[in-house]
Structure 1
Amino acid sequence: MGTWDASPFGNDYAADFASELDELPLVERAAAIRGALEDVIREAGYLDSFEGVRGVAAAALVAVQCPGGPSTDSVYGPDEPVPELPVDLRALAVKVLDRVLAPESELRELWDEVDGREWLDELDRLRAPLAASPN
């Protein structure tokens, strides 16, 4: 996986996910975002970075729609609009961020190998509006 920064779309897998979303009809994008979140939660064992990265990108798209949510104006994020997402995805997105940070997460291990403070700060920035929003 090529990674160029700690932002949710700052790597190949997340940029590919954004492109896949852009290719879907608008009515299918929310289901694809939910699917990326559920793929992370469904993994009970070791979480591969592929699923982890896509889950973080999906969580970022949910966080954007929360009151006080961060922007995802990355040039590598989706170019096409994301529909209004169901509120229940906020709690799921928090679980995804927690799972990515847990032991048995390749993404966490990769960021621990370098000084991953910027990445941890980015996840905190995403988590804050998700956790504060009513579900």
Structure 2
Amino acid sequence: MGTWDIGPFDNDTAADFSSTVDEAPEERKADVLLAAFREVIETGDDYLDSDLAVEAVAAAALVAAQLPGGTPVTTPYGPDQAIPPLPAALRPEAVAALDRVLAKDSELLELWEESDGEEWKAGVLHLRAVLAAAMA
């Protein structure tokens, strides 16, 4: 995986995921995000591949961007097309996926921990906080 910074879209896998989101019809974009969350959640206690985790983090960033306290996705590596208003039902799925990304047996977490990824982890925790606040 080529990674150049700590943001949700600052790696090759997330940039490719952005293309997948762009290629989906507007009415199916939420389904693409939900699929990314569910793939991560459904790993349970099994080892979580970093590519799946990266896609879930990027998807969570897209959901959080529409919420108070969320950061707009302005990077050129994010989706080119506007994301329609997303259903509130995605928020708990996103939180559960981020919790899994930050749990044991997560390759992405391990990779960041090897390179002093506290700033990356703080960014993921911020996404989670924005999503959780919107569920309250």
The question of a shared fold, defined as TM-score above 0.5 by the shorter chain, is answered with yes
Q: Residue type matched to 2:40 in 1?
A: V
How many residues get paired? 135
| Cα RMSD, aligned residues only | 1.0
Counterpart contact for 1:5–1:11, Cα < 8 Å: yes
In structure 1, the partner of 2:125 is: 124
- Structure 2 residue aligned with 1:48: 49
Tell me the equivalent position of 2:100: 99
CA distance in 1, matches of 2:22, 2:5: 22
Aligned counterpart, 2:37: 37
Amino acid at match of 1:89: L
CA distance in 2, matches of 1:71, 1:124: 16
Q: Distance in 1 between matches of 2:41 and 2:71?
A: 23
Query: Which amino acid is the alignment partner of residue 39 of structure 2?
Result: D
User: In terms of mean alpha carbon deviation, does 66-75 or 11-20 score higher?
Assistant: 66-75
Aligned-partner Cα distance in 1 for 2:124–2:5: 13
Gaps of 5+ in 2: none
Q: TM-score, normalised by structure 1?
A: 0.96
**Whole-angstrom CA distance in 2 between matches of 1:82 and 1:37:** 17
Q: Which runs of 5 or more structure 1 residues have no equivalent in the other structure?
A: none
Is residue 75 of structure 1 aligned with residue 76 of structure 2?
Answer: yes
Q: Percent identity?
A: 53
Q: Quick one: distance in 2 between partners of 1:77 and 1:39?
A: 20
Corresponding letter in the other structure for 1:103 = K
For residue 134 of structure 1, report the CA deviation from its aligned partner: 2.5
Q: Provide the C-alpha distance between the structure 2 equivalents of 1:134 and 1:55, rounded to a whole number of angstroms.
A: 18
TM-score (norm 2): 0.95
Q: Could you tell me how far 1:123 is from its partner in structure 2? A: 0.7
Q: SS of 1:99's equivalent?
A: helix
In structure 2, the partner of 1:58 is 59
